[in-house]
Amino acid sequence: MLDPLKTSSYDYDLPKELIASKPVHPADSAKLLVYNRETNTITHSTFKNLMDFLPEDISVFLNDTKVIKARIFGKKLSGGKVELLLNKPLFMDRYLVMIRGKVSIGMLLYFEEDIIVKVLEINEDGTRVVEFYQNEKKLDFLTLVETLNKIGHLPLPHYMNREDNEEDNTNYQTLFAKNYGAVAAPTASLHFTQELLEKINDKYDVNYLTLHVGAGTFKPVDAEDILSHPMHSEYFEIGREAKESLDKASKVLAVGTTVTRTIEYYARKNMISGECDLFLNPANEPIKVDHLLTNFHLPKSTLIMLIASFVGLEKTLEIYEEAIKEEYRFFSYGDGMLII
């Protein structure tokens, strides 16, 4: 008997060839697996038929975060190479980053465009706290983003096993990406074409909120018991219109796990901005979101545990098994799944 509170229960075998390293074109030609909880049935379709499966009176919520070119390569004074990944801004123009290459407190790192990074803190979880300078001036977040977009690389997930290219600059951003702050795309939204988006806007109450996806989203759960996992936090913001829609909505479609966590955090805390560290799993089920559009997620990740919060562990594994059998493409550039 599988235990939904044990991390090992969320493992599954995925053939390597089912890991998508590039998206399909057009984006809405991706496959869509639809699981209906009422009838306990699975339907195989394509993303462009999404509206065939949605009820009339549903409110749709999307994440308008924008991915930063957060990965940069530089050198230490000694000439040793370093790679830095911006995770998120902290207070007082300090930033949480990950650095590949040995560094110590007080060390200076050198990058293109006269960027100098000063290491301030070394955290036990592998992250570092730094400041960015350009020509001796400390950089605020907006100036930093502008500079990173000149010299940086899109931080494609490691499982794609390739460097980013020119096409990713379009493919790895949603059509409605607006607010810079993410280091990973809200991938369920990558399937929308302009045409599909317009149709959805014409028919439904469509709203945008922001959650800046952090590097923690890819962090595997190491704890044996899932409830011992220290959940990462990510900055979110729900605007006035989205809040009003949310308060009125009787049926909610969350496009993606990021939107789900933001809405569910709001439903519990009544906060419209701040740091969201909500961990949805079978012991902490959704209370506001009743329809979920998402991709297929990594084994033993908090994201597959979030799926299990909607349909249970055994059904999650059954759906994933079916998706593997039908050769769905997995992860960020992969196919979609709709839970209704």
202/143 Cα distance (integer angstroms): 37
pLDDT at residue 125, rounded to an integer:
87
pLDDT at residue 217, rounded to an integer:
82
pLDDT tens-digit series, residues 304-339 = 999 999 999 999 999 999 999 999 999 999 999 999
The mean predicted confidence, pLDDT, of the chain is 96
Domains, the chain, in order of start with CATH, read 5-65+164-337 (3.40.1780.10), 69-149 (2.40.10.240)
Other C-beta atoms closer than 10 Å to the C-beta of 10 total 27
The β-bridge relationship of strands 336-339 and 115-122 is unpaired
Report which DSSP code applies to 280. -
Considering only the C-alpha atoms of the chain, give the largest distance between any 2 of them, rounded to a whole number of Å.
64
pLDDT tens-digit series, residues 101-112 = 999 999 999 999
Predicted confidence (pLDDT) at residue 1 exceeds the cutoff of 90: no
Model pTM score:
0.95
63-69 mean pLDDT: 97
217 CB-contact burial (10 Å; exposed 0-12 / middle 13-18 / buried 19+): buried
